[in-house]
A = this chain, B = another copy of it.
C-alpha cells in the first residue's frame, strides 16, 4: 500500500509544493507565512507551484506543529438575539480578510455551559477569546486568566477586566432612559424586563436609581420575567403591568422587542402614545425609527463592539496591548415621537 494514499484524499501537501518548486519544505512554509523572509525569486516560484497544485495548507497540521491555532473563540449567550447577531457580524467582518477563523458557540445564558465551552475552546489553543459580559463564574474566570491568549470581554464594561473589555454601561443606559422619561413629564414609569440576564439587571438598576433619585420609585412599577424576550412577550408584560398599575404614564423597556410589543398593544387598546403613555426602548434597532409613532430608544453600537474587540485582540496578538484595556463605546439616547409629549 502506497504511503501517500494511505490516508487523506491525496490532496497536495507542502512537500508536493516544495518538490515542484525545487526548494525545501520549510521554505515553502516560510514563503506562505512570512513572505518577507524569502527572496523574491523563490517566492514567485513557490507561489506558482501553489497555484498549479491548488495547494491549501492544512490548518490542523499547522495548529499542531505551532501549538497555536489561528482561531478566535467567541462565546455569546444567544444566536438569534439581534444584538448579538450584530456583534458577531462585526467580528466576522473584521476577521474575514486575515488568516483567522472564528469558532462561535452559544452559552444559552448559562455559566456552566460557558465553562464547558471554554474548556473545549482552550483545547484548541486559540489565538484569542471573546466572551460576553463580565459575570463569568469563578472557574471560567480562572480558565480565562490562565489562558495564554488575549481575552476580550464584550458588551459591558466594569472595574476588573480579565484582560481587555469593550462595551458600555448598561446601568447608565438605564438611568439615561429613565431620566429622559422623567424629564418629559412621566411620573408613573413602568419597567418591563425579559430574560433578566446581568445586563438587563443593570439596566433595571439604572432605572431604579433614577426613579429613587426623583422620588418616584415604587416596586409595583417593575415587571420582569426570566422568559426570553420577544415582541409577544412585550405585549404580555405590558398587560400585566397595566393590570397592576392602571395609571402608568410611561414605560421603559429592557429592549426594543418588548417596546414594540407595548407599542402594538397601545394601538390595539387605543392608548395614545406618547400622550397617555410614553415608551422608551433599548438598543435602537432599525425598526424603531420607522415605527408609528417612532420609538425613543438607547442607541448601542453592537457592530462596533465586535470590530473593536477584534481590533484590540489583534493588537495584543501583535504584541502591543492597547494602553486602554477598557474601552467604553457608550450609548446615545435617540428621542423620538414615543416620548415627545409637550408637558
Contact = CB atoms under 8 A, between A and B. Distances in A.
Interface of A: 7-9, 56-61, 63-64, 66-67, 69, 79-80, 82, 85-86, 88-89, 92, 96, 101-106, 119-120, 122-125, 148, 230-232, 234-235, 257, 260-261, 264-265, 267-268, 286-287, 289-292
15 contacts: A9-B67, A56-B120, A57-B123, A59-B123, A60-B64, A79-B85, A79-B89, A82-B82, A92-B105, A101-B120, A102-B104, A103-B103, A230-B286, A231-B290, A264-B287
A289 B232 contact: yes
A4 B305 CA distance: 39
Contacts of A148: 9
Given A60-B60, A79-B88, A230-B287, 9 more contacts: A58-B124, A80-B82, A89-B106, A92-B105, A92-B106, A101-B120, A232-B287, A232-B289, A267-B292
B267 A290 contact: no
- Chain B CB within 10 Å — which of A89, A96, A290 has the most? A290
B69 A80 contact: no
Contacts of A57: 123
Contacts of A64: 58, 60-61, 64
A111 to B, nearest CB: 16
A124 B59 contact: yes
Contact of A63 (B60, B104, B231, B260): B60
A9 B290 CA distance: 53
Contacts of A85: 79-80, 85
A69 B289 CA distance: 46
A60 B69 contact: yes
Contacts of A79: 85, 88-89, 92
A64 to B, nearest CB: 5
Contacts of A123: 56-59
A227 B182 CA distance: 39
Contacts of A58: 64, 123-124
A228 to B, nearest CB: 11
Contacts of A231: 286-287, 290
Contacts of A122: 56
A238 to B, nearest CB: 11
Nearest to A99: B120
A173 to B, nearest CB: 21
B102 A232 contact: no
